[in-house]
Every structure is written in structure tokens, then in C-alpha cells.
Amino acid sequence: MNDKRIYFRIRNIIIFTLLMNMIFIFNIMKTKILCYIIGIIVLLLYLYINIIPLRLKKLNKRVCIMVSGYELIADSSLAVLIEIILYIFLLNTDNLTINSKEFIINGITAVCVLIIPVINGFMRMMFTSRNLGVVNRLLIVLLWWAPILNFIILNGCCKKVRYEYFYEQSKELRNDVRKENEVCRTRYPIVMVHGIFFRDWMFINYWGRIPKELMRNGAQIFYGKQQSSNAVCKSAQELKENILKIINDTGCEKVNIIAHSKGGLDSRYAISCLGLSKYVASLTTVNTPHRGCKYVDFLLDKAPDKFKNYVAKKYNRTFVKLGDKNPDFLAGVADLTLEKCSQFNIKVKDVEGVLYQSVTSKMKNMFSSGFPLNIGYILAKIFDGENDGLVEVSSAKWGNFLGTLTAGKKGISHGDMVDLTRQDIRGYDVCEFYVDLVRKLKEKGN
């Protein structure tokens, strides 16, 4: 805990304790005017604490509000302990001038004083934390009234928020240290290529917090901007056109491509079959099914044509409204089968002069992620083996393999690799992983 937070905590506990025990203070002090002055000052400070969030150096407003919420709950808990000790002391004092009625009124006042910062703190955490997730939010909303359970859930939420604060703080400290070095300023710009069923939207970034972190460390970032789902050859053509536009606009000679999921296949095709190789210095594929997915074959084979066409029609119609020109759900999925990927690898050969490298991850069980990756994990586990919820580990290996990432009890899912949920995972700093990845590209002269 830094010095500023220690100061705020001590200040808050003193104010809470004084306000909780104003009945006792009025009883003990003989000068009533002084009591009123103290009471007004303490009340104003109490309101200030509950309205104005902490201002912590170099941390953004969201994090400051979140930490303020955590502190309000933590400080209220400590104030409760102090109050219990105070009551035990007073009850064991022989010359006590406080009657039972005042004890009860003071106790009710103390409860009211503490309820406000607890609710306030919880609401701040609810609306600002990225780590809490939907499940924790639902649990506390549904079970706030349940004794013991509500404290267990609230304690779990506080731990997640505390970890998120330390994560954000350490990230800021790291960036301060290396700011001038621009460790991610590569020779060539970075083009980040999304996977299937997503688009490069202006307001919802497929890559989460990653691009911003890379840019803070000197990287020049662009996006693939291909449609959400289409045949690899068509997506590759769109990718090629966009990369040529980037080169024309910036004057750079080449680009470094970082591609996730099917985006890796789109990129390989554009490099090998569409003449893009002379404009690409490196291709890093992240959780890309280079050898296909067996369960995709199974699903396409077993699902009735009527059902497949219905889903495809709904998908295509939806994504046209979201910005795609002519998406093709079935064509995109079909190119992920074993047969199509086998044919793809025969046709699409690596080009000399382009650095090819890959990385993947794996989940540890079906509870490691939510829908649809939990279902995908089961299917991929049955047909393939260890997987990230969609892609089997061996299928993701291509070129220089950088390894299989996993962490904690849950592991790392297909979505976690691109910060899809914006949640921090113990043992895996997604932003730092990409900073290190790009730093090494820079060291290679790319």
C-alpha cells in the first residue's frame, strides 16, 4: 500500500469512528457548542469521502473510482472492528455514565453510518472493475440479503478488485521506467488481424487493451479490417488490399502481422498466394488452427442442412447490418475443417524471407471459460486433445513455435489470448505478453 492510500485509510477510519460514536461524544463532552462544531465537521468530511474518489498519481479515473470503492469497504470493515473493541471496553468500565438507551441509539447510528460507504463502495466496484465479470455481479445482486453468503461473495469481489489495482499500478510503473526506450517501436508497423466472427469496430476493439499498451511503448498499430466471416481466399484479398493501403499511406516498406485464429490463415494465404510476401517482414499467428479442427468436420457433417442454412442466413443478415458487405458464415467455417486445412497447407507454402512464428494457449477444464468456449473445449477435447476452447494445441503450431501458454487453475482460453473479456489473469499479463512479443520483433530488426 502506498503512502497516499495509508493516509486516506487512517483518515477514513477516524472519521467513520467519530461519526459512529457521536452519541457517546455528546454524552462525555460538557461543551455542547464544541460538540456541534465537531459533529458538523465530521459529517462534512464523511460526505466528502463518500462523494469524491481518491486521486492516485498516474492512474486513470476508472481505477481511482474502483480503488475508492474498495477502500470504503475495507475502511468500514476496520471501523467495525474498532467499534467492537470500543463496546467491549465500555461495557467493562465500572464508572460508565452512558445508559443502555444511549448504547442502543449509538449502535443504530453506527450501523447507519457504515451502511452508506459499504453500498457506495460496492457500487463503485460494480461499475468500474473489469475483473468482477458477470457472474460475480449477478451473485452479489441476487444474494446481497443472504447472511454469511453476502460477506463471502463481497470478500471475493474485493480480492479481485485489489488484484486489478495492483495490476494497473505495476503496469504504470513499468511503462514509466521504459517510456523513453520505446521498446515496441519496430522498424515496420504492426498489423493486427482479427479472427472469425468478429470485425474491427471503431468503438469495440477486438484486441482489448493490447493495442493501447503497444502504442504507449512506441508501436505503430493498424488493423486487418477483413470481414467477420468469409472464405480464406476472399478474406486474404481484403487483407491484402488494406495492407497495401497502409504501405501507400505511411510510406513503410513492410509490415509485421500479428494474426489471431482464422486471421492467421487469411494472412498466410495473402503472403503466399496473393503476392504480399515482399511487403511482410513477419507473421505471428496466435491460436490459429493451421491443421483444422476435427469437431468442425463433425458438426458440419451431423447438422441438418436446413439448420446450417438457417444459422448462416441469420448470421449473414446480422453482420451486414453491423458493417460487413457480403459475409459468408458457412464458407468461413468450412475452411476450418481438416480436409480444407490439409489442402490449404499443400497449396500455401511459407515464403523465404518472411519470419513465421506461432503461439497458442490451453484451458485446463470446461469451467475455465464461459459460453461458447466451454462447449468448444469439450468438443475439441473429445476429437482433438488439449485446446483453448476452439483450437487444439498441435494444430496451432507453425513456423518457430513460441510455446503453449497456460496459467493458474483455469488456464488461458482462445479469447483470453486477445484480451476479449478484459479480465486480468493471475500468472498471465496479456498486455505484457504482446509488449514482449513486439519487443523481440524489434530486436530481430523487424
Separation of alpha carbons 410 and 407, rounded Å = 7
Residue 137: all three cell numbers together: 455481479
Separation of alpha carbons 269 and 288, rounded Å = 13
> Which amino acid makes up residue 435?
V
Given the C-alpha cell 466496484, which residue does it identify? Answer: 125
**What is the reported pLDDT for 423?**
87
Span 284-312, pLDDT tens digits: 999 999 999 999 999 999 999 999 999 99
The DSSP element (H or E) to which 360 belongs, if any, is: strand 355-361
**What is the reported pLDDT for 98?**
74
Is residue 203 predicted with pLDDT exceeding 80?
no
CATH superfamily of 183-443: Alpha/Beta hydrolase fold, catalytic domain (3.40.50.1820)
**What is the reported pLDDT for 34?**
87
Q: Assess contact for 160 and 129: CB atoms under 8 A.
A: yes
**What is the reported pLDDT for 297?**
95
Separation of alpha carbons 419 and 131, rounded Å = 12
Percent of all residues in the chain with a pLDDT value above 90, rounded to a whole number: 74
Percent of all residues in the chain with a pLDDT value above 70, rounded to a whole number: 99
Is residue 196 predicted with pLDDT exceeding 70?
yes
Span 355-377, pLDDT tens digits: 999 999 999 999 989 889 999 99
Overall average pLDDT of the 170-190 stretch = 88
**What is the reported pLDDT for 349?**
96
Average pLDDT of the chain is 93
Strand arrangement, sheet containing 190-193: 221-223, 190-193, 255-260, 280-286, 355-361, 400-405
Is residue 3 predicted with pLDDT exceeding 70?
no
Overall average pLDDT of the 43-51 stretch = 95
Overall average pLDDT of the 187-197 stretch = 97
Span 331-362, pLDDT tens digits: 999 999 999 999 999 999 999 999 999 999 99
Span 404-434, pLDDT tens digits: 999 988 999 999 999 998 888 889 999 999 9
Separation of alpha carbons 158 and 144, rounded Å = 15
Segment of 86-100, 169-183, 201-215 carrying the highest mean pLDDT: 201-215
Residues of the chain with CATH 3.40.50.1820: 183-443
Nearest Cα residue to 361 out of 393, 385, 408: 393
Overall average pLDDT of the 94-104 stretch = 78
Strand residue runs (E) in 265-322: 280-286
**What is the reported pLDDT for 190?**
98
Overall average pLDDT of the 423-446 stretch = 94
**What is the reported pLDDT for 1?**
61
Q: Assess contact for 327 and 317: CB atoms under 8 A.
A: no
Span 50-81, pLDDT tens digits: 999 988 877 889 999 999 999 999 999 999 99
Given the C-alpha cell 498486455, which residue does it identify? Answer: 431
**What is the reported pLDDT for 402?**
97
**What is the reported pLDDT for 95?**
67
Which DSSP string corresponds to 135-184?
HHHHHHHHHTTSTTHHHHHHHHHHHHHHHHHHHHHHHHHHHHHHGGG-TT
> Which amino acid makes up residue 411?
G
DSSP 3-state of 222: strand
For residue 140, count other CB atoms closer than 10 A to its CB. Answer: 19
Of the two residues 440 and 172, the one the predictor is more confident about is 440
Is residue 252 predicted with pLDDT exceeding 90?
yes
Separation of alpha carbons 283 and 351, rounded Å = 11
Of the two residues 178 and 362, the one the predictor is more confident about is 362
**What is the reported pLDDT for 412?**
97
Angle between helices 100-128 and 133-143 (to 10 degrees): 150
**What is the reported pLDDT for 2?**
66
